Structure 1
Amino acid sequence: MGFLGTWMTESESVVYRVVPKCACSTIGQIMYYSDHGTFFEGDIHDSTTGLHKWSQEESQPKIEANVKGHKSYAFTCVRNPYTRILSSFFDKICGIQRNGKRYRGNLVPLLIQKYGIEVGDPETGFEFDQIASFRRFLLFARDTIRWRRPMEPDIHWSAMSGHISTFIVNGGRYDNIFFTEHFNEGMQSVLDNIEVPHSVNLAEIPRFNESEGHGPKRAHPVEDYFDDLSRHLVYEMYKRDFDLFKYDFENPANKYPIGEIDLDEVHAKLGV
């Protein structure tokens, strides 16, 4: 398995385990900038040079040696499970992807047919019942996570703890896990612990939200999407995420964490 989803600067100043839908585009661009003094032109997920990635075969020995020897500061970033799954729905299910097509080809037609989901259309301003469709999407997401049907769970809605654990199980250790909701403070705490060729001023860094503008805008407050059944499904999928990363399951309206992450607890519970 190796270190799936792991990125490292070419200078080996820092190592990052990507968690989808948790500011990964912005973090990748900051890492790229810290080495090169410029941002990557385009979506950082498309880069094949300038940043070591586990998906690039030539990067794998360097990442493996670094992580197993804990030679560099290692971190990742998490997000409230309620807002993360909502973001996945609007971006991946309703949105048009950067290639101009729907996500994963036949996925959306499958959801329309099997789960009665509506996704709207850019020509009509994406008008549809967002709450009803999202709740049906939650049933589908739960089916993929619990029974791996009608497909394997997608990286954008599989649990954060699953992504984060692969790094630990294979011999890595995190120095820092911070919250998307407190992004500047968290990213600054990483930068304060590393030396980079080009200094980064977070106040001047744009947010690289590659999915923005390609789909419908959320029309209601977060809590309106989650009735009692929806919250039950969310808990079934993300209980570990709520517990380990200290988010408030009881109140979907509260996107902020309600405690500090205990790194020792994360390593103990995700390292088995």
Structure 2
Amino acid sequence: MGFPGVWMTESESLVYRVVPKCACSTIGQIMFHSDHGRYFDGDIHDSKDGLHKWNQDHSQPLIEEAVRAGRGVTFTCVRNPYSRILSSFFDKIAGIQRNGKRYRGNLVPQLMQRYGIEVGSPDDEFDFDQVRSFRRFLLFARDTIRWRRPMEPDIHWSAMSGHISTFITNGGKYDQIFFTEKFNEGMQRVLDAAETPVKIDVNDVPRFNESEGHGPKRAHKVSDYFDDLSRHLLWEIYKRDFVLFKYDFDDPDNKFPTAEVDLDEVHAKLGR
């Protein structure tokens, strides 16, 4: 099985388990900069060298050896499930991708037909009922995760605990897990613990939000998108994420965690 979704600096100082929609573009660029003293020119997801990635064949034995030997600081980053699923909807379903097309080709037309989702378009300035469409998308996301139909769950809305667990079950151990909502503080703690060729102050790092500007802006506060049914669905899908990563299920507008992540608990519960 190995370590899918893992990125590692060439210096082997940082080992990161990617979790989509949790600042992964910025984290990847920081890792690249910590080795090379410059940022990757383009979307870091497109890089083919300068950063080891599990999906590059030549990187796999190097990542595997470093993880097994416990080299580098191993870490990941999590995000409030309410805002993460909203971000997935606005980026991947309602938004236009960097290539100028809809995400995954015929996915959005399929959702319009099967679930009655509307997403507008750049021509009408994305004029659609965001709340109604998001709630229908949530039904679709639940169907993919619970029953794997009408398709397998997408990495952008499958549970964070699922991504994070593969690293543990295949023999890895996290040194740190921090919060997107406290990004600078958490990322700096990771960098301070690592011996990187280039020192970085996270406060000086630009934000690399590759999905920004390609779709509609969120028009309402978080809680407006979640009625009783959609909150029930969210708990069904992401209960483990809320519990393990200490997010407040009762108040959708409280984006901050209520406590630090208990690494021992994460390893015990996701390592089974």
TM-score range, shorter chain: over 0.9
TM-score normalised per structure 2: 0.99
Distance 1:43 1:27 in 2: 12
1:41 has 2:41 as partner: yes
Look up the equivalent residue of 1:120 and give its one-letter code. G
Say which SS state the counterpart of residue 75 (structure 1) adopts.
strand
Distance 2:120 2:4 in 1: 34
Deviation at 1:70, TM superposition (A): 1.1
Distance 1:168 1:196 in 2: 24
Q: How many pairs are equivalent?
A: 272
Alpha-carbon displacement from aligned partner over 1:129-154 (angstroms, at most 9, x marks no partner)? 00000000000000000000000000
Other-structure match for 1:269: 269
Distance 2:152 2:68 in 1: 29
Deviation at 1:226, TM superposition (A): 0.3
Other-structure match for 1:99: 99
Deviation at 1:259, TM superposition (A): 1.1
Other-structure match for 2:119: 119
Other-structure match for 1:175: 175
Alpha-carbon displacement from aligned partner over 1:103-156 (angstroms, at most 9, x marks no partner)? 000100010000000011011110000000000000000000000000000000
**197-206 vs 260-269, which moves further:** 197-206
Look up the equivalent residue of 2:233 and give its one-letter code. L
Deviation at 1:97, TM superposition (A): 0.6
- Give the unaligned 5+ runs of structure 1: none
Deviation at 1:68, TM superposition (A): 1.4
TM-score normalised per structure 1: 0.99
Other-structure match for 2:53: 53
Distance 1:11 1:203 in 2: 23
Say which SS state the counterpart of residue 233 (structure 1) adopts.
helix
Deviation at 1:202, TM superposition (A): 1.2
- Structure 1: 4+ residue segments shifted above 3 A: none
Identity %: 76
Distance 2:260 2:205 in 1: 26
Look up the equivalent residue of 1:49 and give its one-letter code. D
Distance 2:71 2:7 in 1: 14
Other-structure match for 2:245: 245
Contact residue 188 and residue 201 of structure 2 kept, 8 A: no
Distance 2:202 2:260 in 1: 22
Deviation at 1:219, TM superposition (A): 0.2
Look up the equivalent residue of 1:265 and give its one-letter code. E
